[in-house]
Amino acid sequence: MQSPTEGGCAVMSGLDRLAAGEGPRLTGASVALLCHAASVSRTLEHVISIVQEKAGARLSALLGPEHGIDAIAQDMEPVADGAPGIACHSLYGDDFASLTPTAAMFGGAEWLICDLQDVGSRYYTYVWTMVLATEAALAAGMKVLILDRPNPLGGLDAWVEGGGVAAGEESFVGLHDVAVRHGMTCGELVTMALAERGAQGRGRVEVLECAGWRRSMLFPETDLPWVLPSPNMPLFTTACVYPGMCLVEGTNLSEGRGLTRPFEIFGAPFIRGEALAAAIPAVALGGVRLRPLAFKPCFHKFAGARCGGVQIHVEAPRAIRPLTLGWALLAACWRQSEGAMRWRTERYEFVDDRPAIDLLAGGAWLRAAIEGGASVEEIAGSQEAGRGRFLARRRGFLRYAE
């Protein structure tokens, strides 16, 4: 379990604790580092500096996830290798094989250190990059250190939403069977996935836990700085709605890319915002208010076109049920669009033989439910059994108290 906080900071990330001299001794050790732009301490010092200057390790290689080490690439944009001064390898290229590092990419390192900021949703790919990189490092005989970070959306059982991933439906937006809003930290989720996937050498994985974080905390309560972990995750409120609104990627609706508030704004030229807002039942509106609006994306879907839709105003983050909201909004759009709304059939996260919505939902069930006219209550109810199984499975991997 977590170490007590020292020095007065409310919450310390694993990186903060490493900077303070805690964790395994790394002086003189060769290290491969999986990181990105949000891999910073509470004083905004980047993990690269801390690993070298404070932990005294030798950096053998840098590994970058989707969006790149600098977090500047857009969604599903291949990222090239290379950075000045040190071997730098992308773990997001042109095909699924590019997601797993080769042994050579580690540059002969003794340790793999992982420090990525997740946003608490199964679709967000960083946790799966950590799983694949850790499995590769263990296979190469290395030790692994995961610098844990708070889940921005908290971790209480009551906040977990959604069922799991059906067998055979695994993908890079659901590499393992977990709930959509999973309520776990990266350290918890990676060790759970490693155990359930049967990874060899798991005893060589160490998690440097957060200090002072509790499962009942949302990100603003940690007093840690919010740094964009990806180009379209600008704010904590973006993360609040993401577990539901990322589902829009599986449709021809705009999820608000090309705007300054992606995922909080969505719609299409054929959507009437007033009618959409009026159609959402109260069960889906906890903690939010919907405001009809018009918008014009600067890029991505419907670039330069006038769209109707809604903006989701997060008013009470602890009350929001983002997945329920996302289900309700998609179902309402399907009913009102008179056939104009369609499921995405183009290649999505390296898969082109199934609609993207099935990958996001963990199976074809959501598409069938919406097409069949199911209510949001019926949709949510269909996922309760899977949610319960996930809550039971995750219990043995939780590291932090409520």
pLDDT value at residue 76: 54
Half-sphere exposure for 386 (CA within 13 Å, toward CB): 22
Q: Does domain 236-385 have CATH number 3.90.1150.140?
A: yes
Task: Give residue 81's pLDDT.
Answer: 56
Q: Give me the pLDDT at residue 87, please.
A: 86
Instruction: Name residue 265's beta-bridge partners.
Output: 262, 311
Q: What pLDDT, in 10s, does the model give residues 155-172?
A: 999 999 999 999 999 999
Q: Which region, left, alpha or beta, applies to residue 271 given φ > 0 means left and ψ of -120 to 50 means alpha?
A: beta
236-245 and 322-336 helices cross at what angle (nearest 10)?
Answer: 50
pLDDT for the residue numbered 183: 98
Which stretches of the chain drop beneath a pLDDT of 70? 1-9, 71-85
Q: What is the pLDDT of residue 9?
A: 52
Q: How many CB atoms lie within 10 A of CB 33?
A: 27
Which sequence spans correspond to the domains of the chain? 14-150+185-223, 236-385
Q: Which two tokens stand for residue 259?
A: 């705007």
Alpha carbons 361 and 275: distance in angstroms, whole number: 26
Alpha carbon separation from 91 to 111, 134, 395 (Å, rounded) = 17, 12, 30
What dotted CATH number matches 14-150+185-223? 3.40.50.12170
Cα–Cα distance between 38 and 227 in angstroms, integer? 5
**273-332 pLDDT, tens per residue?**
999 999 999 999 999 999 999 999 999 899 999 999 999 999 999 999 999 999 999 999
